[in-house]
Amino acid sequence: MEGHAQPRLAVRAARVERRWRLAALVLGAFVLSIGCNPLATFSFIFEPDHMVAPKCPIACDGKEVKVVIQGKQGAGENRHAQPAEKLQELAPEVA
């Protein structure tokens, strides 16, 4: 009888080991997917959005609004950037 118990224990141990490996894999994937700062990730997911009115609204009543977003990538110089003074001259005043 003891001869049959050994293979059953080995099979069961192999199943338990596979389950532990699967659990470790899932946990590791979860930990790696939450990013550098887990607290920031959880606060981003679970914290409600705080909708606050802007101090200076972009749009004026009765006027068409154009918004330009200029991005910069890398450490190189941006040839299309203009000084703030030149942009203020070109942009119409918002009342």
How far is Cα of residue 28 from the mean position of the Cα atoms in its chain?
Answer: 18
pLDDT value for 31: 81
Written as one letter, the residue type at 89 is E
**pLDDT averaged over 10-residue windows placed end to end, the chain, 95 residues:** 68 91 93 76 78 77 80 61 63 56
Domain coordinates of the chain in residue numbers? 1-48
- Please state, in angstroms and as integers, the Cα–Cα distance from residue 50 to each residue in 37, 47, 53, 88, following that order: 21, 9, 10, 31
Taking the whole predicted model, whether its pTM rises above 0.75 is answered as no
